[in-house]
Each structure stands twice: as structure tokens, then as C-alpha cells.
């Protein structure tokens, strides 16, 4: 028979606990919220008041509803207040000994049939459960941050959790309007197991001065459509909590080096830079608990108004006729530059011109472009099939096939043809820019401009400097990106740049998780979309990008960094071998026919 859950206890009113109390109270369930000291209780109350008041201010709650919500919450110091609740959710810091002590105490205090749940992100629910005399009533109920917003709850059953306890918690999640996935007890469950390797890697990029915090975050927001960048997310999670989760995942999850916390994280914890909750983490906030970022000593000064490098850019050459070239030509022409498009023949030029015309016509039909601007953009484009016609352009963007020998040949020819001082840019997404640069006699003028597909839509451009690129070239490229209306992020010339280096290992990890039969593709996709706010789940994205493309990028990353955890998942290789490469083949992880 299922239990009636009328009153819920929440232990610990920190980042997660305060949000969890709010979730229950807003669903009409009575809550007893407990903390360890009066001061912590006050802090937790203040967090809740702030959050609920913001909902009132935004018109999402009325003042009367606000009062009803607070009337449902009882606050207390100490666990004794939980003697009569039907279910407890523990949300204290991520330390096994602390959680075990609390569960032993809850076992003494709570009613015999109360369910005892932990919100742990990475610790073993089984190990926590054995601190009680009722391990079959212990379960993991893992909410996502911020709890009132994120729809997902991971329900973690151990080998001894009673089926009726699982069923009661599943029913409770439905009452809260949450979507649950029920899974076994494994380090990081679904979402964190896929998230934390990525977060740690992003910190290591920052630590290595590979890119700035702003650029790493902007790259993942604009390149992948994520709601926040990884470093801003670390600040939201709490740097101490993130440290504990990584540390546990490293120890429990097979000692994958990618989970060994990057030294910078430990230093930040020691220095008290715990993220939003202390007002300072990777970023500086207006005050403790505030979501508002304020400038600090690491904030870059605003970009210089005009570029003083003497490289006025008026005419841009675009070489190539594949997927990317038409979009790039369109972007450049619409931004007011003259364009010389070079393909390998008149037929190819006609195809590219057709694609540009069709895309511009679509923009006009959607009311995003006037007919006059459409005509002006088209009039700025010259179609050619001779590289020699680039002898007078001010900058070249190469976007030919992703093969090093072909790109090197194009750059060697450009070196012969182009005026001195012209910026030569490659849109490669995976080849070393320096190797392309060294095909010329002017490597200081060569740079990577990694645009995303479709170029007219995607706002991000990765500006990739090699060890030979001059500061003037980088400045000219950055100015161009701005003139194109895009957001440029700077990074060094390493495999995958920022976005692909952070994205593809995560996708590969998702394949490994599926391969291990820990969860279904649907549950994994759900977890990332509803728990982390990703626009697509990893398997949806892999089928869209193409499994062959993903495998090629993952192989590159593995070869360059020699990180065992980056080795392509065997299942990914098998699917590619079988020709199941995603949407374009009608079948990948899912059937698209
Ligand atoms: N931060 C996240 O994004 C996130 C997301 C999902 C799950 N979690 C998990 O939720 C749990 C809590 O994490 P957090 O980030 O909210 O931590 P936090 O440090 O923000 O808050 C922990 C709270 O527990 C209180 N506390 C400590 N000992 C206590 C005791 N004996 N009795 C009562 N209260 C006590 C502290 O005073 C503090 O307010 C962890 O297990 C964490 O892994 C965190």
C-alpha cells in the first residue's frame, strides 16, 4: 500500500536545500526545514525569501500565494523537529561521514515508516543507507540546481531499496510536476557523470591560460546553446560542492583522471572563493548569493574603438564551395564587405551562388532583410574560379575540404598571389592551424577563424592564434568578427579549440554510458535536457552532427592529448562501421526513416 506523503523534512538549507523546500511548499506540501545553527537557518530563510520574492516580482506568484507558501514551512534547528514527517530529504555538504551521521540520527528520530532520502550528487546511496537500521527505506532523490526551475529528478535505488519506496517517491515527483528517471546507484548517476568531466576540463583550460573565463563560457553558450558556460555553472553549483563531487567521482568512478579535481579548484576552496554563495568564484558577484556579475581585476577592458593596425579591410576573398562557404559569403556580403568567391569551376560557383541567393531570399521572406539590402549584398559578390583573382583582396577566408594536404596547397598558392600584409584565415575545425600557416612564407599573418554551421545563424567565431600569429593579425581578425556581428572568442591552436574539445568528450562519455547499459538513450537525453537545460540530449545531437564526424573529432582529441578517457567509445566506432552515422543515413542511435 502506498504511503501518504503530507509532510516533508529538508535537512540543510544551502544552495540545494533552500530550493527543495521551495519546490515542496509551492506544490502545496507542508515542509519542516532544519539547519545546524540559528545563523545557518537565517541564511537559508533569507535565500528562500529572496527567491520567492523574485517570483512575485516577476508576476509568477501572487502576494497571497507567497503567504500561503510560507505558512506551509516550519523552520527549526536540529533534526528532532523531523519526528513526524513522512519523508526527509537530506541536502547537507557532500561528505560521506557527515551524511552517515545524519542518517543514523534520522533513523532514531523519524517515524518507522518514514522514507529517508539523500540529495547526494556523487556519494554511494548504499553506503549512506547502511548507517541506518532501515536501508530499504533509503533512496537517492537528486534534484538539479536551481531546484525550482529544473524539471529533472534522478531517483536512485540501491540493491536494497524497497520497490514501494521507489514507487512512492516516483508518485511524489509527479505531484511536484517533475520528470524522474529511476536508476541504480553509480557515481554521478546520469547527469553529473556526464557533466563533471566537462566542467573539470573547462577549469583546466582556464588554468592553462588557453582562453579567458569569459571566452570559455561564451563559447559553450553560443556554440552549443547551453544556458550557462561551464565556469558560471561551477559558481552556481558551489566550488566546494563541485570539488567534493569530482573527488568522489574520481575515487568511485574508476579513477578517471578527467575527474581528478584540477588544482585550481582546491586552491579556490582554500581561499574561500566558493562561487555565488560567497560572492566570488570564477567571477565576482554583487554580493554573497547574488546572481549579478560585477567587473573585477580580471575583466578585460572594453575593446579599443578603432583598430590602429593599418589593415583596413574592404574586400574579402572566400575560398571553397562546401557546406560552410555559402553561409560565410552571405555573412560577409551582408556586413557590407565586397566578396570575391573562388571555387574550383563555374559549375561549383553556380551552386554556391544559388545557395547564397536562396538563403538571402529566405531572409527577405521572413522580414529579416529588405529587398534593397538583398540586392546590395548580391551586388557585392564577384564569382570566380581562379585563385589569382584574390591578388587584391584585404583578407582571405579559406573554407575548403577538411584535409591538411588540400589546405596546405591552397595556402601555398595564396602566399604567391596575395598582397603582403593580408590576413589569411582558415575555417578548419580540427586541423592544426600552425601546420597550414607553415605552408606559407608568412605564418605571422595566418590565423584560424572557426565559424559554426549555419554561419548566418550561429553567433560564435573561435579566433585561433598559433604560436606564430602576430598580435596585429589577431587584432585584425577580432575586428572583422565584430564587424560581421559575431562574438569572437580567442583561443590557442589546440585540437578541438574550445567548443569541440569540451563537447565531444562529453558526447563520447554518453555513448559509453549507453554501452554499459546504465541508462537508455531516452533517459540520458532527458537527463541532460531537463537536468542541465541543454537544448538537445547527447544522442539527439550525435545523430544530428553525424556519428562519423563525432568519431573523427574524438580520434583527433585522443591522438593529440593521449588522455585514455578520450578514447572513442567502441559503440561509436561500431555504429560508424555499420554505416549508422545519424540522420543523414536515416539511422544512428535512433531510426530516422
Ligand atoms: N550545488 C548543486 O548544484 C547541487 C545539485 C544537486 C545536488 N547537490 C547535492 O546537494 C547536497 C547539498 O549541496 P549544496 O550545494 O546545497 O551545499 P551547501 O554547502 O550550499 O549547503 C549545505 C547546507 O547544509 C547545512 N548543514 C551542514 N551540516 C548540517 C547538519 N548537521 N544539519 C543540518 N544542516 C546542516 C549547512 O549549514 C548548509 O546550509 C550535496 O550532497 C550536493 O552534492 C548539489
pLDDT in tens, 312-363: 899 999 999 988 999 999 999 999 999 999 999 999 999 999 999 999 999 9
CB of 92 closer than 6 angstroms to any ligand 1 atom: yes
Q: Annotate 501-519 with b (16+ C-beta within 10 A) or e (fewer).
A: bbbbbbbbbbbbbbeeebb
The Å distance, Cα 119 to ligand 1 centre, comes to 8
Judge whether 168 and 146 are in contact, CB under 8 Å. Answer: no
How many angstroms does the Cα of residue 244 sit away from the middle of ligand 1?
A: 11
Mutational pocket test of ligand 1: of 36, 46, 79, 93, the residue with most ligand atoms within 8 Å of the beta carbon = 93
The candidate with the shortest Cα–Cα distance to 236, out of 283, 174, 198, is 283
Mutate to test the pocket of ligand 1, among 45, 88, 92 (most ligand atoms within 8 A of CB): 92
- Global confidence as pTM: 0.91
Annotation marks residue 192 as catalytic:
yes
Q: If you measure from the C-alpha of residue 187 to the centroid of ligand 1, how many angstroms do you get, rounded to a whole number?
A: 18
Q: Decide if 384 is catalytic.
A: no
Selection from 589, 502, 498, 497 nearest residue 194 by Cα: 502
Dist. CA 17 → ligand 1 center (Å) = 6
Q: Is 154 a catalytic residue?
A: yes
- Closest to 288 (Cα-Cα) out of 296, 276, 272: 276
Ligand 1: centre distance to CA 170 (Å): 23
The pLDDT of residue 305 = 47
To test the ligand 1 pocket, which listed residue (16, 89, 116, 150) has its Cβ within 8 A of the most ligand atoms?
16
Q: What is the pLDDT of residue 232?
A: 98
Active site residue 526: no
In this prediction, residue 1 carries a pLDDT of: 59
Query: Residue 376 and residue 500: Cα distance in Å, rounded?
Result: 35
- Of the candidates 119, 124, 129, 142, the residue annotated as catalytic is 142
**90 Cα–ligand 1 center, Å:** 8
Smallest CA separation from ligand 1 atom 8, residue: 121
Q: Is the CB of 154 under 6 A from ligand 1?
A: no
Task: Answer yes or no: is the C-beta of 582 below 6 A from any ligand 1 atom.
Answer: no
Q: Which helix (H) or strand (E) holds 219?
A: helix 213-224
| Ramachandran angles phi, psi of 156, nearest 5° | -110, 115
Residue 4 CB partners (closer than 8 Å, separation 6+):
86
Are 476 and 484 within 8 A, CB to CB? no
Rounded Cα distance between 8 and 340, Å, is: 68
Q: Give the C-alpha separation, 486 to 481, whole Å.
A: 6
Q: How far is the CA of 277 from the centre of ligand 1 (A)?
A: 12
> 587 φ, ψ to 5°?
-155, 135
Our answer on whether the CB atom of 120 is closer than 6 Å to any ligand 1 atom is yes
CA gap 444, 477 in Å, rounded:
12
Work out whether strand 7-11 and strand 87-90 pair parallel, antiparallel, or are unpaired: parallel
User: Is 11 touching ligand 1 by the criterion CB < 6 Å?
Assistant: yes
DSSP SS3 for 383? strand
Catalytic residue from among 145, 192, 359, 508: 192
Q: Which of 12, 100, 192, 248 to mutate to test the pocket of ligand 1 (most atoms within 8 A of CB)?
A: 12
**Among candidate residues 94, 92, 290, the one with its CA nearest the CA of residue 192:** 94
Tell how strand 179-184 and strand 315-319 pair up. Answer: unpaired
Q: Tens of pLDDT along the chain (593 residues)?
A: 588 899 999 999 999 999 999 999 999 999 999 999 999 999 999 999 999 999 999 999 999 999 999 999 999 999 999 999 999 999 999 999 999 999 999 999 999 999 999 999 999 999 999 999 999 999 999 999 999 999 999 999 999 999 999 999 999 999 999 999 999 999 899 999 999 999 999 999 999 999 999 999 999 999 999 999 999 999 999 999 999 999 999 998 788 999 999 999 999 999 999 999 999 999 999 999 889 999 999 998 766 544 455 468 999 999 999 889 999 999 999 999 999 999 999 999 999 999 999 999 999 999 999 999 999 999 999 999 999 999 999 999 999 998 999 999 999 999 999 999 999 999 998 899 999 999 999 999 999 999 998 899 999 999 999 999 999 999 999 999 999 999 999 999 999 999 999 999 999 999 999 999 999 999 999 999 999 999 999 999 999 989 998 999 999 999 998 999 999 999 999 999 999 999 989 999 999 98
Structural Rg of the chain based on CA atoms? 27
CA-to-CA dists, residue 358 to 35, 363, 456, 458, 512, angstroms: 62, 9, 13, 18, 41
Backbone angles phi, psi at 184, to 5 degrees: -85, 170
**Cis amide linkage into residue 490, ω under 30° from 0:** no
For residue 99, the model assigns a pLDDT of 98
Please give the number of the atom of ligand 1 that sits closest to the Cα of 37: 37
Residue with CA closest to ligand 1 atom 35: 12
Amino acid at each position: 500500500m502506498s504511503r501518504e506523503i503530507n509532510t516533508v523534512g529538508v535537512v540543510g538549507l544551502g544552495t540545494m536545500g533552500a530550493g527543495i523546500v521551495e519546490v515542496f511548499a509551492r506544490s502545496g506540501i507542508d515542509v519542516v526545514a532544519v539547519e545546524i545553527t540559528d545563523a545557518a537557518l537565517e541564511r537559508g530563510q533569507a535565500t528562500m525569501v529572496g527567491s520567492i520574492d523574485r517570483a512575485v516580482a516577476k508576476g509568477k506568484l501572487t502576494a497571497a500565494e507567497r503567504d500561503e507558501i510560507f505558512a506551509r514551512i516550519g523552520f527549526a534547528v536540529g533534526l528532532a523537529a523531523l519526528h513526524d514527517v513522512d519523508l526527509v530529504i537530506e541536502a547537507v555538504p557532500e561528505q560521506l561521514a557527515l551524511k552517515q551521521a545524519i542518517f543514523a540520527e534520522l533513523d532514531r528520530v523519524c517515524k518507522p515508516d518514514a522514507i529517508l532520502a539523500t540529495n547526494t550528487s556523487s556519494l554511494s546511496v548504499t553506503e549512506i543507507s547502511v548507517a541506518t537500521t532501515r536501508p530499504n527505506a533509503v533512496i537517492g532523490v537528486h534534484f538539479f540546481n536551481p531546484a525550482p526551475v529544473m524539471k529533472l529528478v534522478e531517483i536512485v535505488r540501491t540493491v536494497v531499496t524497497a520497490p514501494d519506496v521507489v514507487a512512492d517517491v516516483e508518485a511524489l515527483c509527479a505531484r511536484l510536476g517533475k520528470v524522474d528517471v529511476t536508476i541504480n546507484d553509480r557515481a554521478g548517476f546520469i547527469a553529473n557523470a556526464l557533466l563533471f568531466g566537462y566542467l573539470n576540463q573547462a577549469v583546466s583550460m582556464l588554468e592553462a591560460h588557453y582562453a579567458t573565463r569569459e571566452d570559455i563560457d561564451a563559447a559553450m553558450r553560443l556554440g552549443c546553446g547551453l544556458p550557462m558556460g561551464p565556469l558560471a555553472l561551477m559558481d552556481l553549483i558551489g566550488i566546494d560542492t563541485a570539488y567534493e563531487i569530482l573527488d568522489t567521482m574520481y575515487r568511485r568512478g574508476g579513477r578517471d583522471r578527467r575527474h581528478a579535481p584540477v588544482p585550481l579548484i582546491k586552491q579556490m576552496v582554500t581561499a574561500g572563493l566558493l562561487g555565488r554563495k560567497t560572492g566570488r568564484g570564477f567571477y565576482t558577484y554583487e554580493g554573497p548569493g547574488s546572481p549579478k556579475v560585477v567587473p573585477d581585476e580580471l575583466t578585460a577592458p572594453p575593446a579599443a574603438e578603432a583598430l590602429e593596425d593599418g589593415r583596413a579591410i574592404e574586400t574579402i576573398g572566400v575560398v571553397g564551395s562546401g557546406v560552410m562557404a555559402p553561409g560565410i559569403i552571405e555573412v560577409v556580403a551582408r556586413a557590407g564587405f565586397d566578396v570575391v568567391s573562388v571555387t574550383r569551376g563555374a559549375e561549383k560557383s553556380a551552386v554556391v551562388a544559388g545557395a547564397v541567393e536562396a538563403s538571402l531570399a529566405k531572409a527577405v521572406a521572413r522580414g529579416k532583410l529588405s529587398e534593397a539590402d538583398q540586392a546590395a549584398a548580391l551586388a557585392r559578390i564577384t564569382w570566380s574560379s581562379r585563385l589569382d583573382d584574390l591578388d587584391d583582396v584585404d583578407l582571405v577566408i579559406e573554407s575548403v575540404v577538411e584535409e591538411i594536404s588540400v589546405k596546405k596547397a591552397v595556402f601555398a598558392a595564396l602566399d604567391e598571389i596575395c598582397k603582403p600584409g593580408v590576413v589569411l584565415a582558415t575555417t578548419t575545425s580540427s586541423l592544426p592551424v600552425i601546420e597550414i600557416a607553415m605552408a606559407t612564407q608568412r605564418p605571422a599573418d595566418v590565423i584560424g577563424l572557426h565559424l559554426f554551421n549555419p554561419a548566418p545563424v550561429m553567433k560564435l567565431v573561435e579566433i585561433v592564434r598559433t604560436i606564430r600569429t602576430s598580435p596585429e593579425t589577431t587584432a585584425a581578425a577580432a575586428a572583422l568578427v565584430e564587424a560581421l556581428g559575431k562574438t569572437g572568442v580567442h583561443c590557442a591552436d589546440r585540437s578541438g579549440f574550445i567548443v569541440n574539445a569540451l563537447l565531444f568528450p562529453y558526447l563520447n562519455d554518453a555513448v559509453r554510458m549507453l554501452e554499459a547499459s546504465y541508462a537508455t538513450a531516452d533517459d540520458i537525453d532527458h537527463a541532460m535536457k531537463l537536468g542541465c537545460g541543454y537544448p538537445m540530449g547527447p544522442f539527439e545531437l550525435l545523430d544530428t552532427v553525424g556519428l562519423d564526424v563525432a568519431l573523427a573529432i574524438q580520434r583527433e582529441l585522443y591522438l593529440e592529448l593521449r588522455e585514455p578517457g578520450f578514447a572513442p567509445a567502441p559503440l561509436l566506432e561500431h555504429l560508424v562501421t555499420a554505416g549508422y552515422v545519424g540522420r543523414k543515413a536515416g539511422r544512428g542511435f535512433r531510426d530516422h526513416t
